[in-house]
Amino acid sequence: MAVFKRDGYRCLACGSDEDLSIDHIHHQSAGGGHGIENLRTLCRSCNSRRGTGYLPEVDEEAWQEPGNSASKVSGESYRLNMSSYRRDLVSRAARNEFRSLATDMTVRLVAEAWQNHNFAPVPEDELNYDDSSVRRTTFETYAAAVDWTDYAQVSRALLVFEDLIRYYRQSGWESNWLEEVTVKLERDGLSVDERGRISWLRRPVTTGHLEKLTDPSGILAELERVSRTIADDPAAAIGSAKQLIEATAKTVLRERGITIDENTKVPALVKQAQKALHLDASSVTPGPDGTDAVKKILGGVASIAVGVAELRNRGYGTGHGQATAPTNLGIRHAQLAANAAITWCQLMLDTLGDPAAPWRKAVVPAQPQAPTAAATP
């Protein structure tokens, strides 16, 4: 459904991707209609908690600022803006699991876990959170200060989560808390090893440059599909990885004002997109971009992108009906395709958004000098 796609297939209140439902922002009893501008995604739990009243997690002004998941509705159309482009790298559902762990810790330990990694809390009077537990509230004052769309901040926050995992293990807790934490993190593309270290199964694409694009929705839709399917449906993840490359190439060409032939195959799209950004071997560019070493790397990156498309076309990814389902296809193959696609996508977005990138500098070939007249004696 279009509403789920627009909202990233996640509950706008808690971040869950399970048991989703459509909520009317303005209820019918208040004159609200059924148009997409009056609809949003909530899980059934948050939807039932809202009832016909107020849901702070998405109705507060704080959720209307860049970096959050809801868009402002104030008499005008509910339009997709950059708040929904910048998806949280760690979902609210995963953060809530770690907040629950704070229940059995002291306030001092909770605060120190965050402070050890240079986080400062937001003032409690600015916190949109109501909880009888001082420990969980303390956790939330620090978590609320994190920009969960920023890779660098999230990487530091994951160190906090690692410390919480180690504390619980050392304390000998035997409930299923670790399983709950692990499941939520895996949905966000993260894994937890036997030592409690958290790492990315695939590094997310940093979306800062997307804000300047005319319409990055195609790229974001495919990123979301890769994220949702990589653990449970490798074939779908491979198919989405190929589509991510295709969407990125078309976005680059559109942003550069180049006409797109919808029938063009992925290898040709990759070549056209890299040429449009002067990332091909034939481009004459100054500095490191023009060296043989960088051109070899760029050639390899292009081959990676084409390889993902070929993997999908050979029946290992969704998109073509197959008489026989692929065998021996595992998560590692999905991760290989996803990481390859994301590497190429990130390169293209970084280059497109870089104000000093080679494509922004027209290289004028040197003109031959006219012969000078011989001096007369």
Nearest to 233 by CA among 105, 333, 148, 360: 333
pLDDT of amino acid 51: 54
- Give the mean model confidence (pLDDT) for residues 76-86: 36
Q: Is the pLDDT of residue 79 over 90?
A: no
3-state secondary structure of 92: helix
Q: How far apart are CA 4 and CA 196, in angstroms?
A: 33
Residues 6+ apart with CB under 8 A from 232: none
Q: How many other C-beta atoms are found inside a 10 Å radius of the C-beta of residue 261?
A: 10
Q: List the alpha helices (DSSP H) in the chain.
A: 2-6, 44-50, 56-59, 82-85, 92-101, 107-115, 134-143, 151-171, 177-187, 217-229, 234-255, 266-276, 292-311, 331-353
Q: Is the pLDDT of residue 9 over 80?
A: no
pLDDT of amino acid 30: 60
Token digits of residue 366:
């040197």
pLDDT digits (tens, 9 = 90+) for 91-134: 888 999 999 999 889 999 999 999 999 999 998 778 888 888 99
Q: Which residue has the higher pLDDT, 87 or 177?
A: 177
pLDDT of amino acid 58: 54
234 neighbors 331 (Cβ within 8 angstroms): yes
Q: Is the pLDDT of residue 252 over 80?
A: yes
Looking up tokens 């402070």 gives 115
- Distance from the Cα of residue 41 to its chain's centroid: 18
Please, which pLDDT band fits residue 324 given cuts at 50, 70 and 90? low
Q: Is the pLDDT of residue 357 over 90?
A: no
Q: Is the pLDDT of residue 6 over 80?
A: no
Indicate the burial class of 141 (C-beta count within 10 angstroms; 0-12, 13-18, 19 or more): buried
Nearest to 352 by CA among 290, 278, 277: 277
Residues 6+ apart with CB under 8 A from 268: none
pLDDT of amino acid 366: 44
- Give the mean model confidence (pLDDT) for residues 231-256: 88
pLDDT of amino acid 86: 55
Task: List phi, psi (to 5°) of 354.
Answer: -75, 120
pLDDT digits (tens, 9 = 90+) for 274-311: 999 988 877 777 778 778 888 888 888 889 889 998 88
Q: Is the pLDDT of residue 162 over 60?
A: yes
129 neighbors 156 (Cβ within 8 angstroms): no
pLDDT of amino acid 98: 93
3-state secondary structure of 270: helix
Q: Which residue has the higher pLDDT, 168 or 207?
A: 168
pLDDT of amino acid 146: 92
CA atoms in the 13 A half-sphere facing the CB of 104: 14
